Amino acid sequence: MNILAVTIGGLGDAVLYSPVIKALRTRYPQASIRLLVASRLAASAYAGASEIDSIACLHPGSRNPLRTSLGLLKFCIQSRMRNGRYDLGVYATGLNPKVPEFLRVLAGVDRSVCGPKPPAYPTDIECNVALARRFDSDISPADTFVPISDAAVEEADQILQTTGIHGGETLLAVYPSTDLSHRPRWALTDLLEIVQRIKKLSFGGKIVVVGSQAEGREWSHADTDRLVDANLCGRLSIAGSAAVLKRCCLTIGSDGGLMHIAGAVGSPAVVVMVNAPLSYRPPGSQTTVIRSQLDCCSATYPERPDWCHDARCRQSVPFDAVWQACEAILTRRSHTGMDLLG
């Protein structure tokens, strides 16, 4: 049996789809499961996953609709040449409804099963879990995962050692994310203030920054006092980042792909979602989400309007709520024997 599993959004979308992957492998242990994702970043999140047999990606990262369509066409041609037909196509929540029909006709998908989308369930992870339960009724949000191979752990250890951080040390990660025109991130100055307060608590571990090379440059420019112990931005693969985040007692930052990975690997996370849809909430039972208090950011799918140039939604994030969430996690884990605070 050939199965095509499809999630062609961003890195976070790919992570939220993982319960479906697990359910498909449980239901069809002998099937050939091919995963179709949008970008190389999303593909790398599943590198080494035993639940899938192969991965295809549409394009290197752009989410331009024309490039997506061309990528789908190319994929369909290659599928016809290599695999013939697919017995089943399983589509993540939120996909354009034209995608299943496109793949049915051109890639030869015999039967399609599509995930529901909000408001059928409040969040994308719950929508994907509902889809997964059509194949395995025992699946839950706790089945969200990002595989971490021995190679990823080795990569993380080697990079950390170059910064003077060794295997037994506790880590805390900061993720600044990227400032988008329609979806601003939380201000770096506010994140720096959080880090400064954590250090004043006599935090007993090392603080690292994770993200892309560009995010790392922005952080270095803002962090003039060098408050963090290591800037790992641009030095780790997605798999290596997952291995680092799994070690973290806390991950703090703006909404983005790495916050979804933090939740999926079990790192307690405090996520600032300035005006992102709450349905995009990262996974994890220990994830706390803080949002802007402006009315215009409370919609199911808020977007920053073209006329808004001052990012008031960013300024209206309650700083004290972010700090109290971070402090509560560190204090709670110290009380359970982790000895995080002096």
Measuring CA to CA, which residue among 28, 36, 16 is closest to residue 131?
Answer: 16
The whole-number pLDDT of residue 340 equals 65
Least confident of 168-177, 217-226, 331-340: 331-340
Question: Which two structure tokens, joined as six digits, stand for 139?
Answer: 């699946």
- Measured CA distances, 45 to 55, 132, 271, 280, 292 (Å): 11, 19, 20, 18, 29
Task: Calculate ∠ Cα 131-136-142, nearest 5°.
Answer: 75
| Residues paired with residue 6 on neighbouring β-strands, in sequence order | 36, 91
Measuring CA to CA, which residue among 233, 267, 265 is closest to residue 252?
Answer: 267
Provide, rounded to the nearest whole percent, the portion of the chain with pLDDT above 70: 92
Please write the tens of the pLDDT for every residue from 94-130: 888 899 999 999 999 999 999 998 889 989 999 999 9
Least confident of 67-76, 96-105, 244-253, 262-271: 67-76
Place of tokens 């091919």: 34
Q: Is the pLDDT of residue 342 over 60?
A: no
Q: Is the pLDDT of residue 232 over 80?
A: yes
Please write the tens of the pLDDT for every residue from 64-77: 777 788 888 999 98
Measured between alpha carbons, how far is 183 from 107 in angstroms, rounded to an integer?
35
3-state SS class at 269: strand
The whole-number pLDDT of residue 139 equals 98
In 3-state terms, the chain is what percent helix, strand and coil (to 5)? 40, 15, 40
